[in-house]
Amino acid sequence: MSTLTDGADTARREQLPSRKARPRTGLREGRAAWVLALPFVLLFLVFTVWPVLQSLFMSVTDTRAQDLRTPLAVDFVGLENYARALTDENFLRAARNTAYFVVVGVPLTLTLALAAAVALDRGITRFRSAFRLGFYTPVVTSIVAVAVVWQFLLQREFGLINTVLGWVGITGPNWLGDPDWSMPALIMMAAWRNFGTGMIIFLAGLQAVPWALHEAAAIDGANAWQRFRHITLPLMKPTILFVSVTTMIGYLQFFEEPFVMTNGGPLDSTVSMSLYTYRQFGFGNYAYAASLSYLIFVVVALVTALQFRALREKG
């Protein structure tokens, strides 16, 4: 601590000529700033920075649960864990399941969010905040509780969803018991729970779309869809990018839904990358779990970068 402030003080003194008439402020200021920063910085170093680095280290060793008390007595194995992951049929299955969840779930969630936001922003003038509140509410509830409830809603015989489908003459599938329908069921629930966040951000973004442009286009004979397509969408691009990135980051890590509702089944159709990593951790394969978690991180980073690029190029 003292070395940090001393260093800051020295630097401050050197800069003094440029700061007029307040000879002692800089010195005091630097010290006070570090005093204020210190509690956060200490917790952050111990519980975030150190584990991030330790995880990377662990992933190139053969650490297992029994090595818990002697973390430095483990052997270095290079990229063996990563190589193992890329040939682990079960992990690849989990990666494909996660890709399915993301590729279908993210566009579905974004479409619902954008539709709700546009309807609330332009379509109506009354009860706007009540609708907004209603759509946002599922976001703040526990995924575990929601998953427990949806497990019942999705029951084949006495579930609410199949009952409603029955009213219009559709025989609903055995959602969570059929490997073809288990993932669609989880995606449906995720979209239901999460579209509210996107809707709120889209509503904020829509404030930036000038209404005069819409009016001018309407005078020129553009219909509502054309105006949405050629005015709203291009102007909303940064917001859409932001929401798709954050939604995708969340969906790439989905865990609670299969943990509670399907336990990864049936026939491993809903094992996600996070769930598989958690299981490896549970088996005591700490090094392998750490390498899997880094692979998830790499996927998150790559997908984010790609998405930024794709949206920039299209424009």
Partner 1 sequence: MNAKNPGKWWLYVLLSLAVVVVAAPFVWMVLGSFKTTAELRQSPPTWLPETATLDNYTQLFSRLDFGTYFFNSTVVAVVVTAGNLLFCSMLGYALAMLEFRGKRALFGLVMGTLLIPGVVTFVPLFVLVANAGLIDTLPGLMLPFLAAPFGVFLMRQFILGLPRDLLDAGRVDGAGELRIFAKIILPLCGPALATLGILTFLGSWNNFLWPLVVAQTEDTYTLPVALALYSKGQNATNYGLLLAGATVVVIPVLMVFLAFQRRVIEGIATTGIK
Residue 208 binds to partner 1 (criterion: CB under 8 A): no
Out of 79, 204, 267, 310, the only residue in the binding site for partner 1 (CB under 8 A) is: 204
Residue 82 binds to partner 1 (criterion: CB under 8 A): no
Instruction: Between 11 and 99, name the residue whose CB sits nearer to partner 1.
Output: 11
Residue 218 binds to partner 1 (criterion: CB under 8 A): no
| Cα–Cα nearest to 197, from 244, 237, 261 | 244
Quickly list H helices, 228-285: 233-235, 237-252, 256-261, 273-282
d(CA 206, CA 243): 13
Enclosing H/E stretch for 199: helix 182-206
CB 209, CB 237: distance < 8 Å: no
Closest separation in Å from C-beta 215 to partner 1: 10
Closest separation in Å from C-beta 228 to partner 1: 14
Whole-number Cα distances in Å, 44 to 32, 38, 230: 19, 10, 45
Closest separation in Å from C-beta 276 to partner 1: 10
Binding to partner 1 (CB under 8 A) within 173-192 occurs at 192
Binding to partner 1 (CB under 8 A) within 126-155 occurs at 126-127, 131-153
Out of 1, 13, 23, 28, the only residue in the binding site for partner 1 (CB under 8 A) is: 28
Residue 34 binds to partner 1 (criterion: CB under 8 A): yes
What three-state secondary structure class fits 80? helix
CB 60, CB 77: distance < 8 Å: yes
CB 104, CB 279: distance < 8 Å: no
d(CA 175, CA 161): 10
Contacting range for partner 1; rule: CB under 8 A; set: 30-38, 78-86, 89-97, 169-177: 30-38
Out of 3, 17, 20, 39, the only residue in the binding site for partner 1 (CB under 8 A) is: 39
d(CA 65, CA 75): 14
Closest separation in Å from C-beta 173 to partner 1: 16
Binding to partner 1 (CB under 8 A) within 231-290 occurs at 242-243, 246, 249, 252-253, 255-256, 259-260, 263, 274, 277-278, 281, 286, 289-290
